[in-house]
Structure 1
Amino acid sequence: MPVEVGLWRIDTVAERIRPGSMPLESRLEQLILDDPEILGSKLLLIGNQVPTRYGKFADVLGLDLEGNIHILELKRDKTPRDVVAQILDYATWVQELGNDDIRDIFTVNHPAVLFDEAFAERFDGAPVPDELNGTHSLTVVASDTDTATERIVMYLNQSYGVPINIMKFQYFRDGDHEYLARTWVVDEASAVKSPSASRTSGTRASWNGRDWYVAFGEGRDRHWDDAKRFGFVSAGGGEWYSRTLKSLPEGARVFVHVPQRGYVGVGVVEGPAQPADDAVLSLGGQQQPFRSLPVTASYSHGDSESGDVGEYIVPVRWLHTVPLESAVWRQGMFANQNSACKLRSKFTIEEVSKAFGLTEESL
């Protein structure tokens, strides 16, 4: 059962402020919509009063940083049986939602806002994870609850592993000031979390089979001006860095990102990754060893007995490049620490292509 919250006003003596009933339960829903952090965790609200495929309307749907769905249902004047049955019914619908479905719900509820930008703004610049709705959780939100509802929820959570809980808000009024205190019925430390989805029904963003992300670490060991001029991307300094670069297939289209700067080029891979000492690039129809080129960086990481730390070179035919100072970046674009990975972010592909003036015909 939830821990009771006590509130005292201290003047010359401590005077307890007794909890009361919130004037309107609908007001609690508006407070959540105005500031989702009232729920205790950061959420991007993707919709409220969202129609389900079964003719009902879910009160609030939220998304957390990991891309998991939070179903929030206000108790209002429902009976214990009704509120629990209703949120479980919503869960049967939510578990079927794929990546595109989540994006569509957000777009319907926020037609003037781009989903990827809203996610990044909400979560301090973090890009949308590849998987949306890998897991979900159910929360009954109430200004007061009866013991029957609490018993049912605790039974489902603790005995059968259903990821359901009750967030209880106590309402206090002290003169012209109003206060809310938040407690969970099932202790968060022991609450069951929804297991990862075993289905493959589209919770992960689809990949077009062609586009890859490449991180080009501009610095002492490599320079973007060299890569732009001679047609290559590179990575090295350890097996972790070169391993993913080696996975780039010939013919792949690469979107090249310089960390902390933005996207600087789009090109097509023309050969496998090779150690810098062995790599050969085609320049003006002539094959030239990479080490013979007048590059400005070392593309070397010294000798080591702890594994392959050499720089690896991948030849690229550029479709479009820009100088480092003209790098393209918008909040919500994809970026991570891998030297290369499949690029599933449609938002990134579209925005970079638009900024570079690339069309399907030119690609």
Structure 2
Amino acid sequence: MAIEQGIWRIDGVESAAPQRLSTAKLDDENQLEALIVQDVSIINADWLLVGRQVRTSFDKRIDLLALDANGSVIIIELKRDKTPRDVVAQAIDYASWVDALDDAQLVDCYLGFAEKHGLPESSLDVAFESKFGIPLADVTLNDSHQMVIVASELDASTERIITYLNDRHGVGINAVFFSAFIDGDKRYLSRAWMIDPQETQQITSGRGAREPWNGEFYVSFGEGERRNWEDARRYGFISAGGGSWYSNTLSMLAEGDRVWVNIPKTGYVGVGVVMGERKRLDEFLVEGKSLLEHETISDYNHLENQPDEKAEYFVPVRWVHTVPVIHACSETGFFGNQNSVCKPTTPKWRHTIGRLQQLWALE
């Protein structure tokens, strides 16, 4: 199904009809690539660019390479003058090469990219921690990857192929469409995703065995200045924020879902049942009162009035079992992930739940 984008100017006068802006053309797709390099948020604010025109071992060039906070590699390929089917096939071909990249190759890729573009962070370790607030040593680089096709439009057949690869084979491939508009001497760029990026993020193509998702959610609860586990235990919530990459995945949860909570670098601390949808701090109530009106260990006042993309979001949870941080469960073989919420499809997840049920004497 073709995606049509439009922008209307509204001047704030009730009697004035909305004025649709005329479409414009970018000079070429090289310009779009350059814009993404200047500001990666044009395509996704939660990615870190690590390479441009990256040469593969079979003498082809990947337009752009990026990382997310999990260390997953994102292959970004602009359609340019290729047919829609050709660009999809090319992205999959590039993915076969990316799959074999080791840490040193990705580090070298970023070093060349940073030097060429005069970036302030001269090493991948520094750039990664600056971007995500997580040491690079705490993630597994290139344990998974996804592909993104950048185009103005795709034919219906190619869209069906992308949907099929996502839905039936767990191949993380997506398409993002850009359109340009003109309003007097000003030009604007709009963006629309074919598939919600959260969905692609959840099914990124990873190494190792996969199995059907068991219906239970993993939650990463990052203790720190923004949240405290004892507050979460006492008042019944999980939370995430500080960036849309962290908070958006909370929207995956619905009332009745079961969640297993892990504190990164510490261990699993609880399992519970979701009791409602995610809400901003200023909308989240505990026993009819704002969380700010309760006695808490963390001071949540500094999280008020933040813009939506940086805000802290809360999901109410009825706890089935929790333990304090000092009794967190962590063993070799347990599943871990930087996503605030995810649907694991690795055998590790089945093992983790089974082991926690034993340790916590749960049915």
Q: Give the aligned length.
A: 206
Which amino acid is 2:68 matched to? D
Secondary structure in structure 2 of the residue aligned to 1:155: helix
| Offset, 1:195 | 4.3
1:7–1:17 contact (8 Å) kept in structure 2: yes
Q: For residues 23 and 163 of structure 1, what CA distance do their matches in structure 2 show?
A: 30
Alpha-carbon offset, residue 197 of structure 1: 1.9
- The equivalent residue for 2:222 is none
Aligned amino acid, residue 101 of structure 2: L
How far apart are residue 174 of structure 1 and its match? 1.1
> Separation in 1 of the partners of 2:2 and 2:156?
11
**Residues 98 and 175 of structure 1, relative CA distance in 2, 3 Å threshold:** same
User: Could you tell me how far apart the structure 1 residues matched to 2:176 and 2:33 are?
Assistant: 13
For the pair 1:8 / 2:13, whether they are aligned, the reply is no
The letter of the residue matching 1:31 is: L
Query: What SS does structure 2 have at the residue aligned with 1:186?
Result: coil
1:155-170 residue pairs with structure 2 within 5 A? 155-170=164-179
Decide which of 45, 52, 59 is 2:49's aligned counterpart.
45
1:68 aligns with 2:76: no
Report whether the alignment pairs 1:194 with 2:204: yes
- CA shift digits 1:177-207 (9 cap, x unpaired): 11111111123454462244229xxxxxxxx
Query: Does structure 2 retain, via aligned residues, the 8 Å contact 1:21–1:143?
Result: no
SS, match of residue 204 in structure 2 = coil
Out of 77, 88, 95, which is 2:81 matched to? Answer: 77
Q: Is the 8 A contact 2:40 2:49 kept in 1?
A: yes
How far did residue 110 of structure 1 move?
2.2
Structure 2 residue 40 is matched with structure 1 residue 31: no
1:102-151 deviations in Å (ceiling 9; x for gaps): 1121122224712211222222x321134101111100011333333323
Which of 145, 154, 162 is matched with 1:145 structurally?
Answer: 154
For residues 21 and 39 of structure 1, do their structure 2 counterparts lie closer, same or farther at Cα, with a shift above 3 Å needed?
same
Q: Distance in 2 between matches of 1:146 and 1:308?
A: 52
Per-residue deviation at 1:83?
Answer: 0.5
Q: Give, in whole Å, the separation in 1 of the partners of 2:8 and 2:324.
A: 63
Residue equivalent to 1:180: 189
After TM superposition, the score normalised by the length of structure 2 is: 0.51
* Structure 1 residues 153 and 19, CA gap change in structure 2 (3 angstroms): farther
**Superposed, which structure 2 residues align to 1:1-363 within 5 Å?**
1=1, 3-11=3-11, 12-111=16-115, 113-123=122-132, 125-128=133-136, 129-188=138-197, 190-191=199-200, 193-198=203-208
| Alpha-carbon contact 1:2-1:185 (below 8 Å) kept | no
* Counterpart code for 1:17: L
Instruction: Looking at secondary structure, tell me which structure has more helix per residue.
Output: 2
**Cα distance, 1:62 vs. partner?**
0.3
**Matched position secondary structure for 2:188:** strand
Task: Provide Cα deviations, 1:325-348, integer angstroms capped at 9, x if missing partner.
Answer: xxxxxxxxxxxxxxxxxxxxxxxx
Closer, same or farther: CA 189–103 of 1 in aligned 2, 3 Å: closer
Distance (whole Å) between structure 1 residues aligned to residue 107 and residue 178 of structure 2? 30
Spell out, residue by residue over 1:303-340, the C-alpha distance to the aligned partner (whole angstroms, 9 max, x if none): xxx99989xxxxxxxxxxxxxxxxxxxxxxxxxxxxxx
Q: CA deviation at 1:27?
A: 0.7
Which sections of structure 2, spanning at least 5 residues, go unmatched?
210-262, 268-322, 328-363
Distance 1:85 1:169 in 2: 21
Higher mean C-alpha displacement, 167-176 vs 28-37 = 167-176
Counterpart position of 1:322? none
* Structure 1 unmatched ranges of 5 or more: 200-239, 245-305, 311-363
State the SS of the aligned residue for 1:91: helix
Partner SS, residue 45 of structure 1: strand
TM-score, normalising length: structure 1: 0.51
Q: Select the structure of larger CA radius of gyration.
A: 1
When residues 176 and 99 of structure 1 are mapped into structure 2, their CA distance, relative to the original with a 3 A threshold, is: same
For residue 50 of structure 1, report the CA deviation from its aligned partner. 0.3
Give how far 1:46 is off.
Answer: 0.8
CA distance in 2, matches of 1:135, 1:83: 21
Query: How far is 1:158 from its partner?
Result: 2.4
Q: Give the residue type in structure 2 aligned to 1:66.
A: N
